[in-house]
Amino acid sequence: MKKYLVILFCLLGLGVSQSANALTFNLTSNHCDPALPCGAPGTIFGQVIVTQNGTSVDITVDLFGPYVYAKTGSVDFLAFKFNATDVTLADITILQNPFAPQTLVAQTGTFNGDGTGAFSFGLNCTTCGNGISTVNGDIVFRVANATIADLTAPNANGNVFVADIGCAAGPTCTAGATGPIDATTAVPDGGATVTLLGSALLGLAMLRRRFGKS
């Protein structure tokens, strides 16, 4: 009986560990001015997926159609902004650049454009022109020697990430509208962990019924 319990709890621990190994943030807070041309209240403009990968953290920025990246002063002329603890530029590597062959690089500085609070890091398409682009592919980058917690602490305004987005076409937004969209809290796991716990307890009950209370 004991060996079955060991197997069961090992599987449970593995599942919980995998659930805690990634966080998803929805880009929902609309700071466009005015806001409505970018999207109605409740619009999810995209998401940011933060995944622990060994001693590194991988971040994927995914804009949903019809939204594309923009380069405007409201986001300090950056496509994406974030904060990081004990991280240097040398730790950041771009893994996927949707702007290619244009150049996307990480930058550091004091970035506090348009009311979303202070950020110390950003991704900049240095060879792109200002304004709305036609790009909505995923940005993927890696931060070495970091944990998820190092990259997901909210700033003083409560914001974790900010993307500069533009509306490529209607009808859900006004074509050409641009502005900052931020993410504040991670999306709940949708009950996956609770389901996992329930399945484990059910399995335990079945084992006890089959093999007795030994």
Give pLDDT tens digits for 33-82: 999 999 999 999 999 999 999 999 999 999 999 999 999 999 999 999 99
pTM of the model: 0.80
* Radius of gyration for the chain, computed over Cα atoms and rounded to the nearest angstrom: 21
**124-150, pLDDT tens digit by residue?**
999 999 999 999 999 999 999 999 999
Cis amide linkage into residue 41, ω under 30° from 0: no
Q: How confident is the model at residue 115 (pLDDT cuts 50, 70, 90)?
A: confident
On whether the CB atoms of residues 37 and 199 are closer than 8 A, the answer is no
Q: Of 45, 6, 17, which Cα lies nearest the Cα of 163?
A: 45
Q: In what order do the strands lie in the sheet with 22-27?
A: 22-27, 46-53, 56-63, 139-143, 92-96
CA distance 37 to 172: 8
Cβ count near 83 (within 10 Å): 20
**Vertex 184 angle, CA 190 and 71, to 5°:** 120
> What pLDDT is attached to residue 189?
66
Q: Phi and psi dihedrals of 108, rounded to 5?
A: -125, 155
